[in-house]
Structure 1
Amino acid sequence: MKTWKKMMITAASLTLAGSVLAACSSGKDSKSADTASDSKTIKVWVPTDTKTSYQDIIKKFEKESGYKVEIIESVNADAQEKVKKDPSAAADVFSLPHDQLGQLVESGVIQEIPENYTKEIADTQTDQAIVGAQYKGKTYAFPYGVESQVLLYNKNKLTPEDVTNYETITTKATFGAPFKDINSYSEGPLFLSVGDTLFGPNGEDPKGTNWGNEAGVSVLKWIADQKNNKGFVNLDPNNVMSKFADGTVAAIETGPWDYKNAQKAIGAENLGVAVYPTITIGGNTVQQKAFLGVKLYAVNQAPAKGDTKRIAASYKLASYLTNQESQENQFKTNFVVPSNKTAQAADNVQADELAKAVIKMGSSTEYTVVMPKLSQMGTFWNESKAIMSDTYNGKIKESDYLAKLQQFDKDIANAK
């Protein structure tokens, strides 16, 4: 049974909104600040191609709040750049990938959300989704979905039992991935699978990366050894799906974004979905991990120009856009896997093989690590890609693996 809580604009939320604005104001008196916003319209940026799917929930919000909502589609990946460029001209409420959260908080664009919404999130969202909405222990945004890569495989070549282990996959059939031109998003978590950390255990310590050790060296050795693995096929990033289609590879690791293409490639009836397999690295069998992405809505107070009622209404709108009812609808219309625990347990979600795999991957730290939110991730993508690709391509000697990784640790610790 669907539940939908009517969120009241409490005195606490108004007080918090006002106090935050007071803290970051430019010296204007309270009267001018409170009257600076002359609009009863809240602007919201929703992900591309989703405007129609939000219309019903927004109508409910408008009826309850007395505010009108202007819905604009926007590319999630551009949220940080667009909001930081001119916060006052940006949306009051906007969607974003969670890895942009840290920079938005550090730049002062978004503030800690009111306590009543923090409690609501803690009560209704999965643990990993809550981590994605937090920065340095405080909650700054509202989760509405989770995303993780999974294993896709050809059921004519591999069984559900086969795909639980990487060595079995590559013994009985073939696994493919681009290793000459490695994608750090896909392969970087191999280091996390063996116990190393990226920006510390919580992903928020710029000096907390420790890949320069024997565990890290074992990952590079494993990457180099795949050239000698008859069951591993190096792929071009542009031909992954075509090689899956023609049978060159029987299993690949990718995300929900490739699911429909994979169905077309080998037929929906032949496509299997599973969580990541276990994998043996350095003589130890470990659970292979992936990065977890959390989809968020955040509030930008700047367009309200000090209007605490509009700010409170914006938080209320963010809550509506991410509540159980909205998440259930986003799953049906846009296949956004819910982060709400009750929505995840719904029959139609549990009946979907892909959704179940993503939920299991995102259910605990056993399978995923929430992608760090620090700006130093820009350096991480480039430098980790170079080390892993050069290792596979034989450009780094095995005797130099440790030194390369130790230098990598220093480089990202010193990055800005």
Structure 2
Amino acid sequence: MKKTKKLFALLMVMVMVFSLLTACGKSKDTKETGSSSDKKTEETKTDSTEAKETKAPALKDASLKVWGPQEQQATLKELCNEFQAKHPEAKFTFEFGVVSEADAKDNALRDLSKAADVFTFSSDQLGALKDAGALYRVTLNKDAIVAANSESSIKACTVDGEMYAYPSSAETYFLMYDKSKYTEDEVKSIDTMVNKDLGDGITNFSFDSDNGWYLSSFFFAAGCQLFGPDGTDATQCDFNNAQGLMVGKYLLNLVKNKKVANHDDGKLQTAFKEKKLGATITGSWNADAVKKALGENYGVAKLPTIKLEDGNEYPLSGMANFKLYGVNAQTKAPAESMALAEFLTSKDAQKVRFEKHNAAPTNIELASDTATLSANATVQAVTDASQVATLQTSIPQSGNFWTPAEAFGQGLADGSITESNMQEKLDKFVTNVLAALK
């Protein structure tokens, strides 16, 4: 009996030990399961937080000041009315101001507290606006905005990996020509155009030769870089290398040619109107005037090639700019302002500007709609050109480029730059571009 009791006691001890071991095992499993659950909860919270950061909350009543160029005031008001209709949960009061993209930075920085909540500006102003603390970082629907627009336009909105603006339209230059003077094949090459006899008193080709925006396209064609491969290195400009020297010599001969003229916007419009110009490099802002002057002979094409002394043909590569919308960092209604900026740069809004203002879309879906774009040859030309153009940088050092470029272009025209001193002049050009900012 004692033996049985001892055996029974021993069995009970073993059961208890086994139970404890099992409990410990379950406790461990439960802890791991709990960790996994916690991890999932954390992931869910993270996803929820990200969603909250990228999805606009319900909007509230707000008074919003909006700036835009004179020619787009009616369109801007129309789009803001549509924005209000889309958000009946809130009541918006809009105040509109006439400020062009070119003047936006100076107007905003004059007194940020009085500047618009939402305003449009040229992408080359982004760096200065961001450094001045004038722009509200894009935090709502960022992923969707990035996915909807071209890579180059998003790059134009970005500083140090952060997005500070919304892309609206692309802007660059292309070839505009008189189809009664050149065929589609002839406008593929500057040299072909210049060598054609168009008769007395006719300028075969023109461009704004002392404007760095256009002058740069010749250097970019040969592979030269302004501020490094991505335009952000303030210590790099190689316009004076071997390729740049070939470009300089080509430009010298081109500018000296009597069949070539230095035309700004006013001069090229007059020349086309008088039927005294074969082709020019310009942008969509001159399209209406030139179309009116040439009628059915109005033609557009991608930038032509140049033949350098090494015997190779190089296609010109333009400098691209973008029209952007930004939100004032001091706005009292950030969510509403960001929602409006996103709406004003949406696919539908870009289509309205395309139809009414010859604005080339950055929205990928719209820019890929050849059926729609083909109805407007000018916008198609801008869209095509912007895809292969070099982005106009917005780093502060870029302010040092324009004056030396203008001086170089003027030197080509007035004879102070010659083939024998070309290297010296290019070296000076680059030195001035890279000089320390004052």
Category of TM-score, reference length = shorter chain:
0.7 to 0.9
- What is the SS of the residue equivalent to 2:331? helix
Structure 1 match to 2:135: 110
**1:360 to partner: Cα distance:** 0.6
Q: Distance in 2 between matches of 1:48 and 1:161?
A: 38
2:367 matches 1:344 = yes
Task: Please give the secondary structure, in 2, of the residue aligned with 1:303.
Answer: coil
State how 1:7-46 maps to structure 2 within 5 Å: 11-12=52-53, 40-46=62-68
What is the match of residue 396 of structure 2?
375
Deviation at 1:219, TM superposition (A): 1.5
Aligned pair partner of 1:91 in 110, 116, 119: 116
CA separation of 1:315 and 1:238: change in aligned 2, threshold 3 A? closer
Distance 2:418 2:261 in 1: 22
CA spacing shift, 1:251–1:178, aligned 2, 3 Å: closer
**CA contact under 8 A between 1:206 and 1:412: conserved in structure 2?**
no
Q: What corresponds to 1:410 in structure 2?
A: 431
Q: How far apart are residue 229 of structure 1 and its match? A: 3.9
Structure 2 CA distance for aligned equivalents of residues 344 and 236 of structure 1: 29
Partners of 2:429 and 2:408 in 1: how far apart?
9
Offset, 1:292: 1.0
Q: Does 1:280 align with 2:307?
A: yes
The residue that corresponds to 2:204 in the other structure is 175
> Does 1:55 find its partner at 2:77?
yes
Q: Which runs of 5+ in 2 are unaligned?
A: 1-49
**1:75-104 CA-partner distances (Å, limit 9, x unpaired):** 221111111121111111110011100111
CA distance in structure 1 between the aligned counterparts of 2:408 and 2:256, rounded to whole angstroms: 19
The one-letter code sitting in structure 2 at the alignment partner of 1:318 is: A
- 2:349 aligned partner, one-letter code: S
RMSD over aligned CA atoms reads 2.5
> Is the 1:49–1:73 Cα contact (8 Å) retained in structure 2?
no
How many angstroms does 1:13 deviate by? 5.6
Query: Which of 280, 283, 294 does residue 252 from structure 1 map onto?
Result: 280
Equivalent residue, structure 1, for 2:39: none
What is residue 390 of structure 1 aligned with on the other side? 411
Q: 1:138 to 1:165 in 2, by over 3 A?
A: same
Change (3 A) 1:228 1:60: closer
Partner of 1:269: 296
Gaps of 5+ in 1: 1-8, 17-37, 305-309
2:96 is equivalent to residue 71 of structure 1: yes
Tell whether the 8 Å contact from 1:207 to 1:412 is kept in structure 2 after alignment: no
Q: Per the alignment, in what secondary structure is the counterpart of residue 183 of structure 2?
A: coil
What's the counterpart of residue 268 of structure 2? 240
Shift of 1:412: 2.1
* Counterpart residue identity of residue 72, structure 1: G
Distance in structure 2 (CA, Å) of the matches to 1:351 and 1:371: 28
Once the two structures are overlaid, the 10-residue window that deviates more, 383-392 or 353-362, is: 383-392
Q: Please give the alpha-carbon distance, in whole angstroms, between the structure 2 residues aligned to 1:112 and 1:149.
A: 30
The 3-state SS of whatever aligns with 1:414 is coil
Alpha-carbon distance in 1 for matches of 2:346, 2:186: 38
1:254–1:407 distance in 2 versus 1, CA, 3 Å:
same
Q: CA deviation at 1:264?
A: 2.5
Q: How far apart in 2 are the matches of 1:271 and 1:340?
A: 27
Higher relative contact order (CA 8 A, sep 6+): 1
Tell me by how many angstroms 1:178 deviates: 5.3
Residue 174 of structure 2 contacts residue 281 of structure 2 at CA under 8 Å; is this kept in 1? yes
Q: 1:162/1:81 Cα in 2 relative to 1: closer, same or farther (>3 Å)?
A: same
Amino acid at match of 2:75: S
Residue in 1 aligned with 2:47? Answer: none
- The alignment covers a number of residue pairs equal to 376
Q: Which of structures 1 and 2 has the bigger CA Rg?
A: 2
